[in-house]
Structure 1
Amino acid sequence: MVKRIITISREFGSGGRFIGEEVAKKLGIAYYDKNIISQIAEKSGLSPEYIQENAELSPKKGLFAYAFAGRDITGRSVEDMVYQAQRKVILDLARKEPCVIIGRNADYILKDRDDILNVFIHGDMPEKIQRISQLYHVTEQEAVKMMADTDKRRMTNYNFYTDQKWGKARNYALCLNSSRLGYDRCEKIIMECSRLSQCCWDYI
């Protein structure tokens, strides 16, 4: 079965976003990441700034607080509105064209499709620290804190809105360590497994 849609979940600092963007370029398909924020904002009625901060990440609090805080008498929260808007956008994009989608629980949202390749990118701590330090111009200590905070918020959001555990291998077709394999090899493996078109074999 040809895989039209590639979803990439990732640890902060693993290079998953870069890998996904390069895969999309080499396969000649659409790439969706922060460029869908405006669509989610339009469907939810919330500001793009709010969506950018909250569409993929939980608020800075634990899962218990996330489950019960800020809900109206119907049991719905603003985060629920964001998730539903995000879900609709992702479903519409997947119906529209072959693409790479970064994060945003897309692997779970599209789980009923048989033309999807779900990928999780992770990495070793030293390489992730170095990458975050260079990208954000922060100290190693600050990079470790950024990594821990971001991944915790991604995990809380994912675990709350799905019946799966973020980063658990059985949820994905591929789990790739970008520190051990390198970005280029990760890209080649993803393209080979997707079998989206004959062009992907040119890079193997």
Structure 2
Amino acid sequence: MKNRVITISREFGSGGRTIGKKVAEELGLPCYDSELIEKTAEKSGFHVSYIKDAGEYAPGGFLASALSHRTSGPNNADYLWKIQYNIITELAEKGPCVIVGRCADYILRDTADCLKVFIHADMAFRAQRIVKEYGEREESPEQRLKDKDRRRAAYHRFYTNMKWGHAQNYDITLNSGTIGIDRCVEIIKGLY
């Protein structure tokens, strides 16, 4: 029998991680987010900071991901993708859970009873939220959002050949800026 898994994909700053953790807590399920990075580091031998960065960059950079074309064999990012793929699959096999990011929606598409969620919000809401959550930086919050989202989209496209954030790839998309983080949690719990 397939386990019920909630996958949360999200725009940077939309509160997807917070929503995922709250949903898991309220449903009494484990939530995997940064734990995936730690498990991948443990199995690969790479440092956590390297895994964290590599998980949002498509191999060969933006141009290579846009072309979806390889000129050489597997690289570190491919090796890490395989490890991450196996970890996510194993976690879903262990039991119901919430998994935030890391293309879990794609990885589990055929192996789990998946509720695929995408959390988004407008630029103003996300900019205000990342300043509050992560503090001021030298670059503008809007530029940070655009850069992070562009990297996530390229990574997702490279490994899944799907457009990140497009509604047809998810069961539900929620605008956390409009309906609020707590209401997103309630909606997701109601669908579980």
Q: TM-score, normalised by structure 1?
A: 0.85
Cα drift, residue 152 of structure 1: 0.6
3-state secondary structure, aligned to 1:90:
helix
Partner of 1:126: 124
Q: Closer, same or farther in 2 for the Cα pair 1:97/1:152, shift >3 Å? A: same
- Flag structure 2 segments of 5+ consecutive residues without an equivalent: none
How far, CA to CA, are the matches of 2:97 and 2:85 in structure 1? 16
- Flag structure 1 segments of 5+ consecutive residues without an equivalent: 195-204
Matches within 5 A, 1:125-144: 125-138=123-136, 142-144=140-142
How far, CA to CA, are the matches of 1:97 and 1:91 in structure 2? 10
Identity score, percent: 46
Match of 2:173 among 156, 172, 175: 175
How far, CA to CA, are the matches of 1:68 and 1:49 in structure 2? 27
Matched, 1:87 2:85: yes
Cα drift, residue 77 of structure 1: 1.2
Q: TM-score, normalised by structure 2?
A: 0.91
How far, CA to CA, are the matches of 1:63 and 1:90 in structure 2? 27
Alignment root-mean-square deviation, CA: 2.3
**Matched letter for residue 166 of structure 1:** W
Report the count of equivalent residues: 191
Contact 2:9-2:117 at 8 Å conserved across structures: yes
16-25 vs 130-139, which deviates more? 130-139
Larger radius of gyration: 1
Contact 2:176-2:184 at 8 Å conserved across structures: yes
Q: Closer, same or farther in 2 for the Cα pair 1:49/1:141, shift >3 Å? A: closer
**Matched letter for residue 187 of structure 1:** V
How far, CA to CA, are the matches of 2:154 and 2:5 in structure 1? 24
Cα drift, residue 65 of structure 1: 6.3
Cα drift, residue 56 of structure 1: 3.6
Query: Which deviations, in whole Å up to 9, do the C-alpha atoms of 1:20-73 show, x marking residues without a partner?
Result: 00000000000100112221123323222211221244379314268568x75x
Matched, 1:185 2:183: yes
Contact 1:118-1:174 at 8 Å conserved across structures: yes
Structure 1 ranges of 4+ moved more than 4 A: 65-69
Partner of 2:152: 154
Contact 1:63-1:156 at 8 Å conserved across structures: no
How far, CA to CA, are the matches of 2:183 and 2:2 in structure 1? 21
